[in-house]
């Protein structure tokens, strides 16, 4: 497998690739976009930082590409939508620079509390202005943390060591988690109004853009201090400048900006109560080494068929959970394939029902496997990355339902496909025995027991004598061996569902003889 290291990452990370005999490493630092398009034609993985742009054109050119690894957090240089379309995993390394960014944030907080930057500048000019540079203390102050992810949690830990009270706003933060972190969960308005210091640790989204603006600044205490080492654009810079000039904001610190770098004539460069740094969040020797090592390890694990970690366009699942799910993932893919071949024309909806103990586990990988199986015979280059998107593009609505108990099975997966006329076909499967052998156990509610590694004939026929013998005769004359069969009768309807496991596909002539029989209502050959 070929790995293109397009940007400089830690030499230790590069050496991890080189140490594995399965990988050939191409180091191409500083390549032009045209050179990148040529280099990616036969690579399996690309490792980048922020310099190389991995565009839609790159994904189109890289026919073998399976994974793009970003040594760092931000992925603005990677077209994730195009990656998803081409079935390429995009991953970052969110933990490698956590401490570096948290420490820089706290450096800004200290610099915004004790004006050491300004004092140093005056000392170099020959001045001795002790009274001019009187500062404040962190002790006893309230810190508002917007975003309680890894970095926000590390900043909070350091703030508590300085005897600060910490308020946290995060839509995904639970009371229990807040308690574990030693912080107080707060609503956004509460945090804004009560905090002496506010630090931002959220991604830039439509919801967070200009989260801090002129209106929210007016809600803040006079003399508030604001810091952003996360993403530019979360703070409205024009509003921040006005607040700093008016004195409503006592001090601020920025490591990120709406436009990077800020223009040479930006007013941000002129304010004495603002400390600015050139996006240094991850700029420590340790962080650079960590993200390089992390991206190499993650890419190697993924390319060798192991755990996918920190993926941005597919679920990342704990290895222990994945091990528990593995036999069900195999079963799910087969159920998806079965449902596509057995289903009615013009499928518009897929309902996936999970029953029993498995509802306690992360089922998204199972759903992806079912969708992948459904698409296997009708689309190319399908994997967990692009399957959900391709299902949606077919106009198929996918719904997942979890039901704690099933009347007959401890654990069961049911896949139902429905067309616009309301016609429904359903397939269910479970695992049997200590070896967890997958079996098809229900077809349209009829009990069967069918292997999942087989070619099948599925019949719905009138429940009349001689059908099984007729099928056996036709297949025998066609030199098609029957390996196994399962029969389910519905006396009330007068129909039966018959499933034959066969060693080869019947000829057109034999198929036509079966279809023409007056007792045969439905006939399908299913390849699993």
What per-residue confidence (pLDDT) applies to 207? 87
Q: Which of 46-60, 85-99, 294-308, 492-506 reaches the highest mean pLDDT? A: 46-60
**Domain 98-276 in the same topology as domain 2-96+287-303:** yes
Check whether 40 has a pLDDT greater than 80: yes
C-alpha–C-alpha distance, residues 511 and 524, integer Å: 10
C-alpha–C-alpha distance, residues 22 and 2, integer Å: 9
Q: Using pLDDT thresholds of 50, 70 and 90, give the confidence band for residue 365.
A: confident
Check whether 319 has a pLDDT greater than 70: no
Q: Cβ(528)–Cβ(334) under 8 Å?
A: yes
Q: Cβ(197)–Cβ(173) under 8 Å?
A: no
Mean pLDDT of the chain: 92
Check whether 189 has a pLDDT greater than 70: yes
Q: What is the DSSP letter of 162?
A: T
For 152-165, write each residue's pLDDT tens digit.
999 999 999 999 99
Stretch 426-454: mean pLDDT: 92
What per-residue confidence (pLDDT) applies to 422? 92
Stretch 173-184: mean pLDDT: 89
Q: Cβ(135)–Cβ(114) under 8 Å?
A: yes
Count of Cβ atoms closer than 10 Å to residue 115 Cβ:
20
C-alpha–C-alpha distance, residues 44 and 22, integer Å: 11
449 CB-near residues (< 8 Å, 6+ apart): 439, 440, 441, 486
C-alpha–C-alpha distance, residues 361 and 321, integer Å: 7
Q: What is the DSSP string of 331-396?
A: HHHHHHHHHHHHSPSSEEEEEEEEEEGGGGS--HHHHHHHHHHHHTTT-SS--TTTHHHHHHHTT-
Tell me which of 209 and 314 has the higher pLDDT.
Answer: 209
Catalytic residue status for 231: yes
Tell me which of 360 and 8 has the higher pLDDT.
Answer: 8
The CA dihedral of 26, 29, 34, 39, to the nearest 10 degrees, is: 0
User: From 2.60.40.2230, 3.40.640.10, 3.40.50.720, 3.30.70.20, which CATH number describes the 98-276 domain?
Assistant: 3.40.50.720
CATH number of this structure's domain 2-96+287-303: 3.40.50.720
Stretch 55-83: mean pLDDT: 92
Stretch 64-87: mean pLDDT: 91
Q: Using pLDDT thresholds of 50, 70 and 90, give the confidence band for residue 320.
A: low
**% helix, strand, coil for the chain, step of 5:** 35, 25, 40
What per-residue confidence (pLDDT) applies to 64? 94
Catalytic residue status for 177: no
Check whether 179 has a pLDDT greater than 80: yes
C-alpha–C-alpha distance, residues 387 and 147, integer Å: 31
Q: Using pLDDT thresholds of 50, 70 and 90, give the confidence band for residue 272.
A: very high
Catalytic, out of 150, 210, 279, 524 = 279
> 446 in helix, strand or coil?
strand
Q: What beta strand segments (E) does 152-223 contain? A: 165-169, 184-185, 197-200
Stretch 384-398: mean pLDDT: 88
- The partner residues of 525 in beta bridges, in order of sequence, read 457
What per-residue confidence (pLDDT) applies to 491? 64
Counting residues of the chain whose pLDDT is more than 70, the rounded percentage is 98
Parse the chain into domains and list their residue ranges: 2-96+287-303, 98-276, 319-527
Catalytic, out of 34, 125, 175, 260 = 260
What per-residue confidence (pLDDT) applies to 448? 93
CA of 417: how far to CAs of 33, 242, 380, 406, in Å?
A: 45, 58, 21, 20
Q: Cβ(292)–Cβ(71) under 8 Å?
A: yes
Catalytic residue status for 279: yes
For 218-258, write each residue's pLDDT tens digit.
999 999 999 999 999 999 999 999 999 999 999 999 999 99
Check whether 492 has a pLDDT greater than 80: no
C-alpha–C-alpha distance, residues 12 and 286, integer Å: 12
In the block, tokens 């962080």 appear at 287
Q: Using pLDDT thresholds of 50, 70 and 90, give the confidence band for residue 317.
A: low
The CA dihedral of 259, 261, 265, 270, to the nearest 10 degrees, is: 100
C-alpha–C-alpha distance, residues 84 and 392, integer Å: 13
Catalytic, out of 8, 70, 201, 231 = 231
**At the top level of CATH, which class does the domain 319-527 belong to?**
alpha beta
Stretch 260-283: mean pLDDT: 93
């Amino acid at each position: 497998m070929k790995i293109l290291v397009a940007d400089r990452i830690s030499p230790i990370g590069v050496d991890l690739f080189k140490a594995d005999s399965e990988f050939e490493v191409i180091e191409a630092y500083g390549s032009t976009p045209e050179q990148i398009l040529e280099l990616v034609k036969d690579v399996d993985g690309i490792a980048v930082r922020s310099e190389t742009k991995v565009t839609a054109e790159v994904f189109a050119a890289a026919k073998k590409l399976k994974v793009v690894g970003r040594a760092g957090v931000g992925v603005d240089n990677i077209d994730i939508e195009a990656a998803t379309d081409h079935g390429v995993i995009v991953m970052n390394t969110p933990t490698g620079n956590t401490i570096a960014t948290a420490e820089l944030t706290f450096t800004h907080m200290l610099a915004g509390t004790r004006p050491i930057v300004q004092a140093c500048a005056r000392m170099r000019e020959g001045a001795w202005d002790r009274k001019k540079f009187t500062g404040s203390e962190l002790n006893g102050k309230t810190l508002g943390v917007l975003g309680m992810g890894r970095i926000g949690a590390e900043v909070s830990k350091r703030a508590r060591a300085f005897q600060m009270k910490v308020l946290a706003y995060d839509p995904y933060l639970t009371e229990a988690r807040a308690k574990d972190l030693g912080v107080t969960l707060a609503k956004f308005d509460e945090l804004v109004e009560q905090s002496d210091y506010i630090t931002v640790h959220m991604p830039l989204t439509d919801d967070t853009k200009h989260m801090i603006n002129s209106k929210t600044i007016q809600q803040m205490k006079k003399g508030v201090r604001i810091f952003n080492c996360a993403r530019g654009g979360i703070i409205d810079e024009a509003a921040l400048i006005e607040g700093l000039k008016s004195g409503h904001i006592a001090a601020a610190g920025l490591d990120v900006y709406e436009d990077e770098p800020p223009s040479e004539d930006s007013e941000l460069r002129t304010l004495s109560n603002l400390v600015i740094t050139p996006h240094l969040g991850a700029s420590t020797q340790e962080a650079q080494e960590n993200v390089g090592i992390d991206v190499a390890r993650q890419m190697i694990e993924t390319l060798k068929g192991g755990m996918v970690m920190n993926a941005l366009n597919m679920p990342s699942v704990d290895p222990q959970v994945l091990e528990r799910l593995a036999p069900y993932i195999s079963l799910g893919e087969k159920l998806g394939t079965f449902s596509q071949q057995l289903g009615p024309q013009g499928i518009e909806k897929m309902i996936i029902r999970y029953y029993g103990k498995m509802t306690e586990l992360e089922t998204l990988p199972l759903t992806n496997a079912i969708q992948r199986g459904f698409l296997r015979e009708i689309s190319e280059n399908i994997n967990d990355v692009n399957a959900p998107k391709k299902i949606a593009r077919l106009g198929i609505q996918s719904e997942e339902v979890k039901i704690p108990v099933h009347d007959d099975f401890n654990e069961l997966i049911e896949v139902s496909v429905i067309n616009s006329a309301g016609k429904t076909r359903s397939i269910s499967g479970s695992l049997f025995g200590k070896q967890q052998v997958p079996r098809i156990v229900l077809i349209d509610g009829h009990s069967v027991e069918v292997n999942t590694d087989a070619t099948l004939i599925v019949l719905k026929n009138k429940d009349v004598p001689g059908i099984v013998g007729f099928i056996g005769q036709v297949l025998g004359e066609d030199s098609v061996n029957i390996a196994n069969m399962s029969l389910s009768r519905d006396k009330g309807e007068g129909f039966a569902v018959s499933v034959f496991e066969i060693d080869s596909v019947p000829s057109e002539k034999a198929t036509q003889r079966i279809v023409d029989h007056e007792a045969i209502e439905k006939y399908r050959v299913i390849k699993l």
